[in-house]
Structure 1
Amino acid sequence: MQMQYHSRAEIAWAAACGGCKRTVGLEKKMPSVLVVDDNEVARKLIAMPLTEVGFTVETAAGGFEALEKFKAGHHQIVITDILMADGEGIDLIRSLLADTPDLPIVAVSADPRTNPTSSLAMAAKMGARKTLSKPFSALDLLAVVGTLLAGEDEPEAQPA
């Protein structure tokens, strides 16, 4: 049974608690998430906790496929890797936000740099609302997604 919630706050609560199985309402379907990563294992690791708490998850192996799926679907949030073989995640972010400026995007990367030229810093400058450095925990991912969907997100702080 897919869990459904009354409000974005309840979605955030469910996501932040790591998938608490509590029925709090039956009015709305859980949001759809598009996960983009050129690494199949990474896609599955990102999609799994989201699916477990009831999100509808669609995956794409790269930027071009992601754009096609986004245009064909009804995704409320996008989680994208930044460094991919068939196109940078930065280009994907730019394209998505050109058509849907309020789209919540989470950028993820294994780039170890924490300076203003890092891939995550660049993603934040291009409009990603949140960033996560790989590896990250399922709880961190769910908390970020819940915060974004609840509308409680603050812009990412830029490294000095």
Structure 2
Amino acid sequence: METSLTKVLVVDDDPALRQLLADYLNRHGYDTLLAPDASDLESRIQRYHPQLIVLDRMLPDGDGVDACRRLRDMGEDIPIVVLTGRDETGDKITGLQAGADDYLGKPFDPRELLARIEAVLRRKKGASALLRQQPVHFGPFTFDPITRQLARAGVNIKLTGGEINLLEALVANPGKPLSRERLLALARDDEHGERNDRAIDIAVLRLRRAIEDDPKQPRWIQTVWGVGYRFSP
């Protein structure tokens, strides 16, 4: 069942701690997902689209900081709070340099973790809102997210609502490969009943015809084989 609650994915090999955090975060209005290790982290991200990850540093199948670094190298910008029993300054710096948004040593009070989660989400929301207000320029095109209008050299281009939704989702994630499933979640097209991979492929084709010099060799909206599509400004 779909939920409007903020999804938090907790990745920790301690089942007692996982359940404690799940119960605590759920009581405070979050939808908590659980994982015991890093092996299926990427698949859970693609399937459940969490808004934040609580990631243990010491996992049975690797270092959580390495997992964080891999996600950032893939272009994934989900906020990550790293948990660790190694609370030295050098370890914190390593985690932050790997792309973690915050770093919390064990043992910790769940209230502190909750406060850090909420602070990270506030920062993320504020940054995202600011970016969404800025016009995006690529080649001769300008996309204004406030008016939801695409123009080429100052001349407006007529697009459907679904095509605008798709373009908005792509330009909000420059350089980041987005799966068809993720695009379906981001680019909700209420004009059509189709909600499947084929619908996304058709919408991408139409959008390419509107903005690409050669839709068969796209410059702006590129296919990422085995994944989906990427906006490359």
Bigger mean CA offset, 71-80 vs 100-109: 100-109
- Output aligned runs, 1:82-93, within 5 Å: 82-93=57-68
Q: Deviation per CA, 1:63-105, whole angstroms, max 9, x where unpaired?
A: 1122221121110000000011111101210122233443210
- The aligned counterpart of 1:157 is none
Matched, 1:149 2:121: yes
**2:7 is matched with which residue: 5, 11, 32?**
32
**1:123 is matched with which residue: 95, 111, 126?**
95
Q: Amino acid of the residue matched to residue 93 of structure 2?
A: A
**2:17 is matched with which residue: 42, 63, 71?**
42
Q: Amino acid of the residue matched to residue 81 of structure 1?
A: D
Of structures 1 and 2, the one with the larger relative CO (CA 8 A, separation 6+) is: 1
In our comparison, the structure showing a higher alpha carbon Rg is 2
- Output aligned runs, 1:53-92, within 5 Å: 53-92=28-67
Alignment gaps of 5+ in structure 1: 1-27, 154-160
Q: Amino acid of the residue matched to residue 61 of structure 2?
A: D
Aligned sequence identity (%): 28
**2:84 is matched with which residue: 95, 104, 109?**
109
Query: Take 1:67 and 1:40, find their aligned partners in 2: how far apart are those partners?
Result: 20
What is the DSSP-based 3-state SS (H/G/I as helix, E as strand, rest coil) of the residue aligned with 1:62? Answer: coil
Query: Take 2:118 and 2:46, find their aligned partners in 1: how far apart are those partners?
Result: 23
8 Å contact from structure 1 (residues 67, 92) kept in 2: no
Q: Amino acid of the residue matched to residue 74 of structure 1?
A: H
Alignment gaps of 5+ in structure 2: 126-233
When residues 63 and 56 of structure 1 are mapped into structure 2, their CA distance, relative to the original with a 3 A threshold, is same
How much is the aligned-residue C-alpha RMSD, in angstroms?
A: 1.9
Query: Take 1:100 and 1:39, find their aligned partners in 2: how far apart are those partners?
Result: 28
Q: Deviation per CA, 1:15-37, whole angstroms, max 9, x where unpaired?
A: xxxxxxxxxxxxx9221011001
Q: Amino acid of the residue matched to residue 126 of structure 1?
A: A
When residues 124 and 62 of structure 1 are mapped into structure 2, their CA distance, relative to the original with a 3 A threshold, is same
Query: Take 2:56 and 2:124, find their aligned partners in 1: how far apart are those partners?
Result: 23
Q: Amino acid of the residue matched to residue 151 of structure 1?
A: R
TM-score, reference length from structure 1:
0.70
Q: Deviation per CA, 1:96-150, whole angstroms, max 9, x where unpaired?
A: 22334432100001114x132x2x3321110101011111111101100111111
When residues 152 and 97 of structure 1 are mapped into structure 2, their CA distance, relative to the original with a 3 A threshold, is closer
Query: Take 1:100 and 1:75, find their aligned partners in 2: how far apart are those partners?
Result: 15
Matched positions, count:
123
8 Å contact from structure 2 (residues 66, 98) kept in 1: no
